[in-house]
Structure formats: C-alpha cells, structure tokens
Structure 1
Amino acid sequence: MSSQPLTGPPELSPSVQARLAPPVRLLSAGPWTARPVGDELAHVSYAGREVLRAVKAVVRDHNWRTPKPSVRNVEIKQDDDGLQVRWAVAFAGYGVEYDGQLTAEFTPTTVEISFEGAAVHAFRSNRIGLVVLHSPAETGREITVEHPDGGSTAAQFPHDISPHQPFTDIAALEWADAGTAFRLSFTGDVFETEDQRNWTDASFKTYSTPLSLPFPVAVAAGDTVRQSVLLETATLEPQEAVEAAAVAARVASSLPTAVSARIGAEAGRVPALAVGAGSQPGVLPEIPGLDALVVELVDEENDADRSLWADRLEAAAAAASIHGAGLDIRAVTADPVGAVADLAPYLPQAKRLAVFHPDTHITEPDSWPALKESAHAAGFGGSLLAGTRAHFTELNRESSRTPSDSDALTFSITPQMHSTEAAHVIDSVPMQRLVAQNALRLGGGRPVHVGPVTLLPRFNAVATSGTESEAEADELQGEPFTAAWTLASINALTMDGVASVSYFEASGPTGISGADGQLNPAGELLKELAGLRDSVVLSVDADAGPVTLYPVRSRAGLVIFAGNLSGSPVTVDVRLPDGVSASGAVCAAFGQETPAVIRFSTNNDGDPAAGRLTLGPWSAGVVHFPESNFPAPG
C-alpha cells in the first residue's frame, strides 16, 4: 500500500461544495454555544448539552413548497452583557419573494430568537414563521405543555413515531435535563409539535400556525409576521463546570479522524435491491442479482386508454430480462380493476403489484377486494402490496385503513421533505431504520418493501392545488457522496422483515447511470451489492461517527463496504473476525481514483486479524479479502 497521504476533499463544483461543507462558526456566550449553519441557528447548547437542535424561520407556499432561503448581512456583537447575532434571510422561489430579519440574543440565563418578515408581493401561504427542531434523543422525555389559556398538560416525546401532533395549543414547553430546568416560550402565534421522524427527519418540530386552522391563506404585499421564542434556564451550574462543559462540547463537536471497529457475528442479510425503471430503463448496464425494476404508472388525462403504460411496461420488461430481474409495478389510479386489465399481459412477470389512489396516495380499502380478485384472475402470482407511494407518514396516519390481508407493506423515503442541508440528509439515515421498524410493527409481521428511496421527492404528496410538480434532480445525485449515503441507507435498512429496497432510477438526472450507460458512484455500489443478495451481513461494534462499515460474508470471501459522510479523511482500525487474515486486501473506490480514496493495510502489532482502513472525504468504496482468508460456510 502506498504511504502517500490521502488527498483532501474531491474536486467539487461551488454549489456542491456549499451544500456539503457550508461555512460554520461556533458562537459562545457564557454557558451557551450555538452554530449558525445556513439559515439555521443550530445546536443550541447549554453547558455542553444540546438543548435545541435548531431554530429557523420558514416560508411555505400553498403547496407546502419551501422557497429557497439565502442569508445575508450577518452581524455579531459580543460584550460583557452577552452576545447578539443578526442576520437577514431572503426567500425566493415558486413565485414567492419574502424578506425576513432574525435576531438571537444570548445572556447567561436566556436565549431569545426573534423574527420579523414581510411579503414582497402577494402570494398564498400555508405557513410563515419560526420553527424549533428538537433532537430525536428527546424521545421519552417528560415535558409540560403550557397553553394560551393558562392551563397545562403533562406529556412526553413519543417513542413510536406519532402519526399526529403529540403536543398542541402551545404557549410554552417546560422540561428538565441533568439538574437544569428549561422553559421555551413562544409569542406571535399559537404553536404545536409534530413528529418529523415520519418523513425521516431527525427531529421533532414545534411550529406555527396550527394545522387545525384553514390553509392556504392570502398574503398581501407588505403583510408582516412577528414572532419570537425565548429559552430560559431556571438554575445555573457553577461557572467552573459551565466553562469546562463548554470546552468539552467544542471538542466533542469536531468530527473524529480516527475510530476503531470490531467485526462480529451474523447480523442480517443483504436485502434484495431494486431500481426505478424511469423513462429509459434500457440504458442501465447489466446488473447481475438485481431484484426488480420498479415501474411507476400514473393515470394521465391525456392517456385515457393507458397506451403510455404499455410503452413503459414494454421497455421495463425488456430491460428487466437483461438483468434477470422481475417487475415491481406501482399503479396510481382511481380505477384499480380497469388498471389491472391493462396490466394483465405483464402481471405473470411481475414480482410485486401495488395500486394507490391519486388523491390519497394510499391503497384504498374500499377497492381492495376487487383489486385482489382481479389481479389473481389475471394470473398475478407475486406479492400484492398495500401502503403508500408517498412517505411513511401516510402509512402511519392511515394504518387503520390499510388492508390487513396484503402480502406486504410499502412506503417511500426521501430525506429532503423539509430541509436540503447535507447535515439533515445525513442525519436521516438512522431515522430510516426507525421508520422501517415502525412499519414492521404496523404490519404485524408482514414483510416491508421500502422505496423508491430518492434524494428529492418524486412528487408533491401534500399539494393543495391538485397539481404535482415533476421530480427534480439533485446536484448530489452523481457525486461519491450519494454512494456513501446510499451505503449508509442500506446498512440502516438491513433487518429482518425488510424484504427489498429500491433506489433512484435506472438512468438520467435522478438515476444511477448516464445516457452513455456509465454507472455513477451510487450505481457502482448498487451493482456490487446486488450480486451479494441474501449474503450474510456481519455486525460492527464501533462508534464510527461519519463512517459506515458494511461487512458481507460472500462465497468469494469477506467483503467490507465502507463510506465516509464527512469532509475530512478518516482512519478506522478494524479488527476482523478470529481466523481471518487482514493481509492481501484489494480496495476499489466508487467513482474516484482508488489509491487517493480508500486503502487497507495490516497493522504492525502482531495481530494478523488487525488492519487499518483509510477513507477520503465524501467517499465510498469496497475492500475484498481473499477467499482463503475467510472460507465461505458450507
């Protein structure tokens, strides 16, 4: 192995660089620390303990879309009395122009964030104002909800993902943590809290205005919104402890550059992997072991006879035969029986079939018996799925209406329903595991087919205008970052009961290959993993921070997939299973030059099973160990 150091971050466009590594500044005032990141005041911490994940202002249009915020004119003033931060945020997009001014004032016992915003011109809006994000680590914490009428309610942050708002009619929230009491009060509107884990956001969100009030509302040019949130502490710790905790928080907040990991016994199996067919499935190069191509078919007004469905299905069926894969058909129609009649020629080849209503995006129970009967009469012998084409949210909220005799459940995942910041996209990964566990709970033991998993939403599931925007492409789609994120997602979704996971599309801006048939980094990862379907995945005992290790015991020996979701090189000291030699490893990077991105070497401590893995920034790759090092069982 070369002794040359790994290179720094890969060459990135300015916009991608800004997404992956936005400027971050640590604010410190007495016991408080916080980090301005983009338009958020993030990681508001007291004496080294995070109290609020973030506070930010949001503007949503009538279809719940978020005009892009841009930050300007940041002013920071600090003196003996405390710290004041002011910044302007301009929101623009979807026909909306809105200007806001935010101020954060820190004193030894309080943090107050104020917002004043005004519309540049008239538009319709579903929400304008401050939102507070609470960490998912708050799960189970007891809290007191104070109401505008002076009353209060004892509650707690839910363990299972709550389908509806756990706290409503909020004037203030009170709780205690490690001997310190906190009170978070709101002015300018009535607030409520929702469980954003439904959308794989790593947060609970307290926001205004209550959803029980009518929306959208007309906003006239010049209309102004004024809100504030005040975070107070009831007690102070000794100053020496406060200062020590603040220092510890600054140290702990930095990304690790060296971690250790021990690979253990069987922890699961590589799930079946599928890919969305998209509009050009034939462009995708052969992927042996691919489970299925997911074909999404939506009733269109200009396609009354569904002739476009036939074209899509013909192309997908031809492509699927190249991969030795099946079809996973997802139809969106108010006429399930008629749709099945049109699908009949392709149903014998289909592994899975699901039908969703175009208005609710779920499998409607009233039409389920007829759908089931007509599908079986048409010769369909695969798994008939129920659930939603949208987020886990819809499955969670409509669980009582989901047909109980389906063969399996399904829902989709996108990490950017509410935020596009890279940190939120990364933090969605453990929430993916949580929503899958909750789906298995709702299904009562039925298997779950997750996907499509996409970086951006495929359609607007909450539009109020009755129209859907077409799927947008994320500039990160073809980056090695997305391979590392996809590996982390597969790792999170590797569990008993998750029968398959589908990712992205075959080709194009939202796909895993280009028009020339060349796989992008995420496509290279999926191709390698698809061939290991149902192979044993080994456990990893590690506090690996931004690193994902996914060890697979294959017939060709031990394979370790690795990803680094950080902008710094990372070293991992790896202890392989007993009897496995760390020598002879062969590395390959996905989408980047291998020697500059991933390396594996034996340690010089006399332990033949000890090795050292090095990963470059925002990278993913794989390490193959010879079969003689790890003979396959049986």
Structure 2
Amino acid sequence: MRCIRLGEREVVRRLYLAVRDQEWGTLGHEVHDLHLERDAASFRLSFQAEDRRGEVDFHWQASISGDAQGTIAFSAEGLARSSFWANRIGFCLLHPGGECAGRDCMVEHSDGSRQSGRFPLYIAPHQPFLDIRAIAHEVAPGVWAEARFQGDIFEMEDQRNWTDASFKTYSRPLSLPYPFRVEAGSVVRQSVRISLQGQVSAGVLAAAGAPGPVSVAVGQAPLGPLPRLALAVASGSETLSERDSVRLRALRLSHLHLELNLGQPAWRERLRLGAAQARDLALPLVIATVFADEAELAALRQELERQRPHVCAFAVFHQGEPCTSSRWVRVARRHLQESAPAARFGGGSRDNFTELNRGQAPGDGFDFVGYSLNPQVHAFDNASLMETLEGQAWTISSARRLVRGLPLAVGPVTLRKRPASAGDVEPEALARAADPRQMSLFGAAWTLGSLQRLAEGGVEAATYYETVGCLGVMAGDAGARLPGLLAVPAGAVYPLYHVFADIGELGDSLVLPVVASDSLKVAGLALRHAGGTRLLLASLVPKEQEVVVAGFGPLLRLRRLDEGNAEQAMLAPEVFRAQAGEVLASKDGSLRLSLPPYALARLDSF
C-alpha cells in the first residue's frame, strides 16, 4: 500500500511485506489469486504471493481491509517451503519524512507502557524508537493516526540515512543475531492496523479533491552559486574519442573525479588514463584515494611526481575506516601536498551519508567533507527512486550540523551502488552496477531532481555518474551494452547528458528557489545567468502531468525533451541542441504546460 492520506495530508508512505536474504537483498513478490470486494463504505483485498530466489521459497497469504471509520488492516501468514538464512521477514511501515520529521508522537511498548517522543528533525544515526507495539502521530488538529503491530517486536530506523525519505518501522530487532535460520515448515503471522483517533473535520476531508495541475513558483532571491559540477572517469579502460571529448567539453565541468585504490595492481595505469583524459578536457583532477598504509601514499607521491597531473583536491579514504578520521587526512597531506601544492584535502564516506552520520565529526586538517549517494539501497521501483530526491535534501541539512562550517562535496551520485573497486572493472560487476533507466528519460528526470536538491542545498561541489559507457552520461564512440537488456549505439548520448549541457552552457549562474505544490510529481531547477533566467522542469511520474509556472516573465522560449524527440536527442545531440524552441507568452504571469511521462522542459525568459 502506498501514500495513505487523510485529505491532503500523507499519513503512511508505504506498507509492505518483505523477505530479505542474508545479504539484505529484498526478494520480489509473484502475486496471484487476487480478489477484491468493495462497496461505498469498505473494501477487502485478498491475495497470495511467492518469494523465490536461490534457496529461498516463501509463500504468503494476505488480506487488506478498510472501513468508513478510516481503519485499514493488513494481515499476513507466511509459510517457509524451504530452509534458508534470512535477515528479516515481515511487515515494514514507512512514515513520510516530510510530514513527520520534528513532530510529536506517542509510542506504546510491548509491556503496555507509553512514551512521548518526537520524530527526529535531523537524520538520526541510530534507531530513534525501540520495542514498538504501536506508534501514533498527529495528522490534523486533534486527529492522531495510530499504527499497531502484532506478531513480532518492531523498532524504527531513520531511512533518510540512505536518502529514503521516510522513517521505517520493521520487525526483528537488529540487536538479535542475523542472519537467522528459517526452517522449512515454519510459519510467520503478522498484522498491522492503521486507525484514526479523534474527530476529523469536514474541512480536512474536503481537501481531498481531484488532482489538479502542479503549480511551480520561482523565487527571485538567489540562494547562492551553482555547485561545481563534475563527472567521474569511467570504471572500465575506455579512452575518449575526439567526438567524446568535444561533447564533454561542452558541459563546462569544474573537474574530473578519479578514484584510485592503491591496493590494486593497476592503479598507476588508472592514474595515467585519468590524467590523460583530464588534460584532454582541460580539467583538473580530484583524486579519491583509497589506501591501507603510509607506504601506499608514498608510492602515490612518487607516481604523481613522475606523471605530473593537475590535481586540485584529494579525497582521503583509509580502508580501515567507514568514515575518514583527521589522522589520515593529516598523513595524506604530509605525503601528497608537495606533489600538488594548491590541492585541498578532505574526506568523509565513500558509501552513504550513514557512515558520515555515525562517524566522528571532522576535525583539524579537513578542507571539505563529502559522501556518496545512490537511491537503490532499500527499494528499486520507479516511484521509490523518485521519493529519494527529498531524502537527498535531508542529508545536506543534517550534514551541515556535523561538518562545522566546512564545504560539502557530494558524490559520486549514481543511480545504483557503484562497483566495490575502482578501475578496470569486470563486465559482470559493471553490469550489476548499471541501471538501464540511466539511459532513459527517467534517468534524466531523476538527475534534474537531484541537481535541484543539491544546488538549493548549497553544496560546494557535486560529482555525478561517469563520462562514458554504461555508467556515464553518454555511450561514447565505443557504444554501451548491458547483456540481455539493451545496447546503445556508438556515438549516442543519454537524455541526462542534455540536463548537464543545459546547465553548463550558461556559465556562472546563481540558483533561484523553486517551489512545487507536489514535489513528488515535478522537479525544477532555476538559474539566473548573464543572459536572463532559465528554468529546467522534469515530470517525476509515469503519466501526463499538467504544470502551471508562475512568476517567470511575459515572454518565454520553451524546448521539450520527451518521448517524441528523445531518440533524436540521443542519436543527433548537436542537431537537437541547435533547436531554439518555441516562443510562448504567459497569461496573467503564468504558463500552463502538459508534460508527458518523465518529460523535461527548458524555459528561458527574455
């Protein structure tokens, strides 16, 4: 169940059953025997589902019912048809981060005692609530929504640590050993009941009207400069053709990101490749160095003195630390500063914001702090990925409380978790890290939404994706293949290439605030530049979406990127970019647009 609302107020983001294997992989359901009964005042849905992967064979029989009093009950009985190891089996309930963060709640524990509490405003590094039998929060004046759990001990984690924009209540406490053995024939019985307490006013219910257009307003007070944008050197051994280089130069990037694992035998060749590409693109390098000891740093210094690349920063990551300590930043500076006198030094987390949030605060020696982002830690469907955009903004506001005024450098931002090792990655590992949606309009829309959150959040720098290949912004002259899924022709760019090109061609820009009436449906990035103001819009939903833009000037130039011209934009990007678009006149200061699924629109005022 998704987006349970009272009027316009979201009460529950998602309620679902999950089997997670011993690697924390979430199995998909094969649903069958679906039956729905409903009338004007109630409904009942029953179904069966199979979760199968590897040694796991698990069967669910479940039902969902709702009544006119606003009570929803979800019950399930699961049967293990095989013996296997698991980390979690049962219900997960997600409270929406935007509606709940910083708000009061009431928790009932398994012994019947009650605790007044508050959903964390900033991201909690560990579980905010343990031993939950029920939890309630106020959703309208005098109206509380309660979620009551049966069948196991539940607790809550702050999923914003991984950019999921929610608080997750789940069963089997993490304090118990995992993975645990599930024997064939064992049964799991759980239920969740969501109910309202208090009198719901007619005004609250009246707000739940038919969905209308999403309104988008552009503010006029700049938030600050656009972050310095970068791409990473491709994970494989691809070299850039002249055409690849010309297209990448058109993005007017700030730098090129190169990750070096000094424990790998080919890191020197990796440095040579990255340095050559940086010189070809006339960009400095930011080197993210992963090392085990000082001897490896000394070897890097020698190689830097031999190859003499232009390095503007070092991101420092010791293999024994989930989050960089001041000690290793100071050690890296001592070894490497002489080889790159103007370079800055920093560190943080190579993985998620979580490790930064749970680590020690940056101390002396840091010039910047960073962490990576990817939206596919807990969920993998399109809607869940779009919801993580809100979570990215939460990581920025929470990180600022940890970094003591230091600049934030976020990235690499990727659509799926990056390969564990940088460098010449095996094709199988590359295929696991690639997501075909990166090559689609969906990938472009998600990227624009991410850029909006990072730019409006005021990060100093943001690194995205890679240059070419399956993980890049374009296929490159070598093309891109995902075996069994798709092949992108040589020379093609991905739709998200045009997002970066639309930003890069403006030069220095100031970020203006954009407010959408429904940020789960539409994202927007507004930039003020020497020639005027540009607004980039993206639909985040798989259906036609009406948008009304207000306060953006009487005359506008519109260029679309959607299902009607995406193929041309990919195969002939120079031809597409030469198209100026159509001139439109706003009516009473507003402009109404219709955006097809995951479509993008570029609006320029003049």
- TM-score normalised by length of structure 2: 0.84
**Hey, what's the Cα distance between the residues in 2 that align with 1:63 and 1:449?**
30
- Among 431, 444, 469, which residue is 2:404 paired with? 444
Q: CA deviation at 1:74?
A: 2.1
**Hey, what's the Cα distance between the residues in 2 that align with 1:171 and 1:475?**
41
- Among 523, 534, 538, which residue is 1:563 paired with? 538
Q: What amino acid is the match of 1:269? A: P
**Hey, what's the Cα distance between the residues in 2 that align with 1:527 and 1:344?**
37
Q: Deviations over 1:356-379 (max 9, x none)?
A: 244543224554432231122444
**Hey, what's the Cα distance between the residues in 2 that align with 1:107 and 1:281?**
62
- Structure 2: which 5+ residue stretches go unaligned? 422-427, 480-489, 570-575
- Structure 1: which 5+ residue stretches go unaligned? 1-40, 462-467, 630-634
Q: Deviations over 1:19-61 (max 9, x none)?
A: xxxxxxxxxxxxxxxxxxxxxx112234664322211011112
**Hey, what's the Cα distance between the residues in 2 that align with 1:159 and 1:83?**
36
Report how many aligned residue pairs link the two structures: 560
Q: CA deviation at 1:490?
A: 0.9
Q: What amino acid is the match of 1:554? A: H
**Hey, what's the Cα distance between the residues in 2 that align with 1:143 and 1:604?**
45
Change (3 A) 1:49 1:258: closer
**Hey, what's the Cα distance between the residues in 2 that align with 1:262 and 1:443?**
30
Query: Is the 8 Å Cα contact of residues 124 and 219 (structure 1) preserved in structure 2?
Result: yes
Query: Is the 8 Å Cα contact of residues 257 and 568 (structure 1) preserved in structure 2?
Result: no
Q: CA deviation at 1:479?
A: 0.6
**Hey, what's the Cα distance between the residues in 2 that align with 1:98 and 1:293?**
47
Match of 1:603 in 2: 585
- Among 132, 146, 163, which residue is 1:170 paired with? 132
Q: Bigger CA drift: 136-145 or 489-498?
A: 489-498
Q: Within the alignment, does 1:407 sit opposite 2:367 as a pair?
A: yes
Q: Bigger CA drift: 451-460 or 556-565?
A: 556-565
Where 1:43 maps in the other structure, the secondary structure is: strand
Q: What does 1:394-543 align with in structure 2 at a 5 Å threshold?
A: 394-400=355-361, 402-459=362-419, 471-495=432-456, 497-514=458-475, 515=479, 516-540=490-514, 543=517
Q: Bigger CA drift: 75-84 or 448-457?
A: 75-84
Match of 1:572 in 2: 548
Change (3 A) 1:153 1:232: same
Match of 1:45 in 2: 5
- Among 593, 600, 603, which residue is 1:620 paired with? 600
Match of 1:326 in 2: 284
Q: Percent identity?
A: 31
Match of 2:336 in 1: 375
Q: What amino acid is the match of 2:324? A: T
Q: CA deviation at 1:196?
A: 0.7
Q: CA deviation at 1:493?
A: 0.8
Query: Is the 8 Å Cα contact of residues 133 and 203 (structure 1) preserved in structure 2?
Result: yes
Where 1:311 maps in the other structure, the secondary structure is: helix
Q: What amino acid is the match of 1:113? A: F
Q: Deviations over 1:381-401 (max 9, x none)?
A: 31211200011111001134x
Query: Is the 8 Å Cα contact of residues 504 and 512 (structure 1) preserved in structure 2?
Result: yes
Change (3 A) 1:367 1:268: closer
Match of 1:249 in 2: 208
Change (3 A) 1:539 1:170: closer
Where 2:438 maps in the other structure, the secondary structure is: coil
Q: What amino acid is the match of 1:602? A: L
Q: What amino acid is the match of 1:552? A: L
**Hey, what's the Cα distance between the residues in 2 that align with 1:413 and 1:328?**
17
**What is the RMSD of the two structures over their aligned residues, measured on CA atoms?**
3.0
Q: Deviations over 1:200-235 (max 9, x none)?
A: 111100011111111111222333222111223334
- Among 217, 220, 228, which residue is 1:272 paired with? 228
Change (3 A) 1:460 1:259: same
**Hey, what's the Cα distance between the residues in 2 that align with 1:169 and 1:485?**
36
Q: Bigger CA drift: 216-225 or 51-60?
A: 216-225
Q: Deviations over 1:303-349 (max 9, x none)?
A: 4xx3x112222111111122221222222332255145235434752
Q: CA deviation at 1:604?
A: 6.8
Where 2:435 maps in the other structure, the secondary structure is: coil
Query: Is the 8 Å Cα contact of residues 196 and 203 (structure 1) preserved in structure 2?
Result: yes
- TM-score normalised by length of structure 1: 0.80
Query: Is the 8 Å Cα contact of residues 115 and 228 (structure 1) preserved in structure 2?
Result: yes
Q: Within the alignment, does 1:133 sit opposite 2:107 as a pair?
A: no
Q: Bigger CA drift: 208-217 or 329-338?
A: 329-338
Match of 1:72 in 2: 32
Q: What amino acid is the match of 2:407? A: P
Match of 1:105 in 2: 65
Where 1:477 maps in the other structure, the secondary structure is: helix
**Hey, what's the Cα distance between the residues in 2 that align with 1:529 and 1:156?**
40
Q: What amino acid is the match of 2:192? A: V
Change (3 A) 1:586 1:285: farther
Match of 2:303 in 1: 345
Q: CA deviation at 1:282?
A: 2.1
Where 1:518 maps in the other structure, the secondary structure is: coil
Match of 1:142 in 2: 104
Where 1:501 maps in the other structure, the secondary structure is: strand
Change (3 A) 1:332 1:60: farther
Change (3 A) 1:451 1:82: same
Q: Within the alignment, does 1:114 sit opposite 2:75 as a pair?
A: yes
**Hey, what's the Cα distance between the residues in 1 that align with 2:600 and 2:298?**
41
Change (3 A) 1:455 1:598: farther
Query: Is the 8 Å Cα contact of residues 184 and 231 (structure 1) preserved in structure 2?
Result: yes
Query: Is the 8 Å Cα contact of residues 337 and 343 (structure 2) preserved in structure 1?
Result: no
Match of 1:221 in 2: 184
Q: CA deviation at 1:130?
A: 0.5
Match of 2:425 in 1: none
Q: CA deviation at 1:141?
A: 1.9
**Hey, what's the Cα distance between the residues in 1 that align with 2:163 and 2:462?**
15
Change (3 A) 1:622 1:80: closer
**Hey, what's the Cα distance between the residues in 1 that align with 2:8 and 2:223?**
34
**Hey, what's the Cα distance between the residues in 2 that align with 1:412 and 1:248?**
39
Q: What amino acid is the match of 2:227? A: P
Match of 1:384 in 2: 345
Q: CA deviation at 1:424?
A: 1.7
Q: What amino acid is the match of 1:310? A: R
Change (3 A) 1:133 1:340: farther
Change (3 A) 1:237 1:621: closer
Q: What amino acid is the match of 1:572? A: V
Change (3 A) 1:81 1:432: closer
- Among 521, 529, 541, which residue is 1:554 paired with? 529
**Hey, what's the Cα distance between the residues in 1 that align with 2:40 and 2:536?**
51
Query: Is the 8 Å Cα contact of residues 43 and 51 (structure 1) preserved in structure 2?
Result: yes
Change (3 A) 1:598 1:103: farther
Match of 2:487 in 1: none
**Hey, what's the Cα distance between the residues in 1 that align with 2:33 and 2:262?**
48
Q: Within the alignment, does 1:231 sit opposite 2:194 as a pair?
A: yes
Where 2:116 maps in the other structure, the secondary structure is: strand
Query: Is the 8 Å Cα contact of residues 548 and 590 (structure 2) preserved in structure 1?
Result: no
Q: CA deviation at 1:195?
A: 0.7
- Among 542, 561, 582, which residue is 2:555 paired with? 582
Q: Deviations over 1:262-288 (max 9, x none)?
A: 452323222111112122262543323
Where 1:338 maps in the other structure, the secondary structure is: helix
Q: CA deviation at 1:108?
A: 3.9
